[in-house]
Chains A and B, each alone.
Chain A
Amino acid sequence: MTDVIEIPPGAAPRRAEAFKPKLHVSNLNFYYGEKQVLHDVAVAVPPNRVTALIGPSGCGKSTFLRTLNRMYEAVPRTRAEGIVTLDGEDVLSMDVVRLRRRVGMVFQKSNPFPKSIFENVAYGLRVNGRMRKREIEEAVEHSLRRAAIWDEVKGHLHDSAHALSGGQQQRLCIARALAVNPEVLLLDEPCSALDPIATAKIEELMFVLKESCTIVIVTHNMQQAARVAEYTGFFLLGRLIEFNKTEVIFKRPAKKETEDYITGRFG
């Protein structure tokens, strides 16, 4: 493998805003068994911004997201090759527990544990080391507040998380991810199962959360990408076709494929 990083034209943001990338990816190839699903992906994710990844189903955007916290390792016979760095540290060789503490994830389908609301949020804290009861209580409240769900659940923290509505469950999952103070939050189509009101709440949340962490969101909803993201990447057939400021992607895309997708000519 060569260590010369060649960022294909269009994959690097134009120098409209200089930043030191939070996540830096280059020459990333990904395989399920023999099948290659990501080809030479290169991208620099800016810190404290929302970066959206769009593209048709099966284009590799979710797979890409899962390389950023190595969730793909839960699936047998998967392999990632290339360079992924988090603040300059190599993600692919980092201790996976430490990596996932720094890079949290929220999934497409809300997946609260069959435990109480409190225990759901406390889970990551308990996993990541011993804390006093008082500290855990404070951290749980703080996380629920950050996820803007505190007011709705504060009276019944010890009820089952499964009694919450779909939108509340998803915000609970965000609170659960926030509890360990991640530097990066990965959102894998977090609103695809939610109604417009619940979706709006989560989008509002992103505006606040990006002050304290870097957000990467996979979405099949282009309007959502346009609403929440400063930067947008367009994936097609396992390649990152174009990455730029969201307004550029949506108004003046450099690639014909991007324009076709944005304007709904396919996908």
Chain B
Amino acid sequence: MILRKITNAVMFMLTGLCALATISVLFFILGYLVYYGARSLNWAFLTQLPKPAGEAGGGMANAIAGTAKLLLLTALMGVPIGFVAGVYLSEYGRGAFAFAVRYAADLLNGVPSIVIGIFAYALAVVPLGHFSAFAGGVALSIMVIPITIRTTEQFLRAVPQSLREGALALGASKSRTIATVVIPAAMRGILTGTILAVARVAGETAPLLFTAFSNTYWSHGWLEPIASLPVMIFNYAISPYDDWHRQAWAAGLVLLALMLAANIAARMILSPKAGRA
């Protein structure tokens, strides 16, 4: 009787402590970023180009725009492939091939991002002869595909079979049923998963190191090396200058704010109150 109560109390405390540890980590990171980064976060940081080493001030406007451009490429190249493959797995995929695709997607998800970086280097940097935003987009696309596949498949599978039957019974073909009933019914979930997937790769550094490389200046078009927030954080953090260290913290804060915004947007899309049906 007493032993049972003690066991109960111990278990409660143990689980509670672990839960507390989890959220503490997040708040420590947030606190650190704000403490060290907020001081360097000013209008110049968001609008100016980096200053040469040794000169104080300057900003990371090119890296912020660069991250945006890289994510746009990811959304245009990786997301559609992952989405369509996810539709295949959910609606058509049966047998050995579908099993192989599903398994490959899970494996691809687990491939270290640095390895994906090397692969994208061989695929898109070597043939072109130079680093480019495009190559960075390829690397990030490869990372986003498996996540998009699995979220798309998962949300499509959650669409009740009765809806598919309803459309088929009205004489709709299978592809039409998928396009006009199944996908719209799952669209909110898929959109949410996609936003989170893109936000997740927004912070990747390793795949960009030898694909997008970096750039001290603005990057024009899609075929020049391009600066990005994660690579900028990496470069500034390993530099010997205190001012750069502070700017790296500020860049970290901006990156985290972007992800937080993406998360909130995703939750708003997914919440049942947003939009009818």
Residues of A within 8 A of B (CB): 69, 71, 74, 76, 96-98, 100-101, 104-105, 107, 109, 111-116, 123-124, 127-128, 159-162, 173, 176-177, 180
Contacts and interface: CB of A to CB of B under 8 A. Distances in A.
A116 B184 CA distance: 12
Given A71-B165, A74-B165, A124 B170 contact: yes
A107 B170 CA distance: 12
Interface in B138-183: 160, 162-173, 176, 180-181
Contacts of A159: 276
Nearest to A98: B171
A109 to B, nearest CB: 6
B276 A100 contact: no
B277 to A, nearest CB: 4
Contact of A113 (B167, B173, B176): B167
B216 to A, nearest CB: 50
Contacts of B164: 74
Contacts of B180: 123
Given A98-B171, A104-B170, A162-B277, 20 more contacts: A69-B169, A71-B165, A74-B168, A97-B171, A97-B173, A100-B168, A101-B170, A113-B181, A113-B185, A114-B163, A123-B167, A124-B170, A124-B171, A124-B172, A127-B171, A128-B171, A159-B276, A176-B170, A177-B169, A180-B170
The interface residues of chain B, by DSSP majority, are classed as helix
Contact of A111 (B166, B171, B173, B277): B166
Interface of B: 94, 160, 162-173, 176, 180-181, 184-185, 276-277
A114 B94 contact: no
Nearest to A101: B171
A114 B184 contact: yes
Given A97-B173, A111-B163, A160-B277, A71 B184 contact: no
A176 B163 CA distance: 13
Contact of A109 (B162, B167, B173, B185): B162
Given A114-B184, A115-B277, A104 B169 contact: yes
A180 B165 CA distance: 16
A106 to B, nearest CB: 8
27 contacts: A74-B165, A76-B94, A97-B171, A97-B173, A100-B171, A101-B170, A107-B162, A107-B166, A107-B169, A113-B166, A113-B185, A114-B163, A114-B184, A114-B185, A114-B277, A115-B277, A116-B277, A123-B167, A123-B180, A123-B181, A124-B171, A127-B171, A127-B172, A128-B170, A160-B276, A176-B166, A180-B171
A127 B277 contact: no
B97 to A, nearest CB: 15
A159 B277 CA distance: 9
B276 A127 contact: no
A266 B49 CA distance: 84
Contacts of A113: 163, 166-167, 181, 185
Nearest to B166: A111
Contact of A123 (B94, B170, B185, B276): B170
B244 to A, nearest CB: 52
Contacts of B94: 76
Contacts of B184: 114-115
Nearest to B181: A113
Q: Which 6 pairs between the two chains have the least Cβ-Cβ distance?
A: A160-B277, A124-B170, A111-B162, A105-B169, A100-B171, A111-B166
A171 to B, nearest CB: 14
Given A71-B165, A114-B185, A160-B276, A100 B170 contact: yes
A107 B166 CA distance: 8
Contacts of B170: 100-101, 104, 123-124, 127-128, 176-177, 180
A264 to B, nearest CB: 31
A71 B171 CA distance: 10
B91 to A, nearest CB: 11
Contacts of B169: 69, 71, 100, 104-105, 107, 177
